[in-house]
Amino acid sequence: MIKEVRLAELYPVMKEVLESGGTANFNPHGTSMLPMLHDDGDRVVLKKPEGELKKYDLPLYRRDNGAFVLHRVVRKPENGTYTMCGDNQWHLEKGIRPDQIIGVVVSFERKGKKISADNALYKLYTRVWVNIMPLRHLFIGGMRKIKNIIRKIIKG
């Protein structure tokens, strides 16, 4: 039997494990990190960041409202805070403080295959995807429009 547990319930244990130098993993949910992460079984592995995050890192952080978010660093620290964005988004979230960072993704697993954050293809993906951010809304919006048109045609 599989039991789904909310990240908020795991957070105290996760924090303790990460603070002691261990790793924590969980299945992310949502679509904000598509196409990289899918919520149909992908799993991410986190560790406590060593020093300042770098552009392209993928941290788990907690917003002031308590929400847990897994988004990419798209700008180096400005005034001591980070700018984040999901891979399936184009709106920037500015002002993420270092004290909000819980951990950073060191690898993820899809269908039994583990992919390290140090993998050359993964690094290439992150750089290309972040740098085409100004064009994402055209690509993503265009794909949504095409899907909607296809749905309308199918429905008759």
Domains of the chain: 7-155 (2.10.109.10)
Residues of the chain with pLDDT under 70: 1-3, 136-137, 140, 156
Q: Nearest-5° angle of CA 107, CA 109, CA 73?
A: 40
pTM equals 0.85
Between CA 132 and CA 122 the distance in angstroms is 15
**What pLDDT, in 10s, does the model give residues 31-53?**
999 889 998 889 999 999 999 99
pLDDT at 5: 75
**Dihedral angle, C-alpha 96, 84, 16, 105, nearest 10 °:** -160
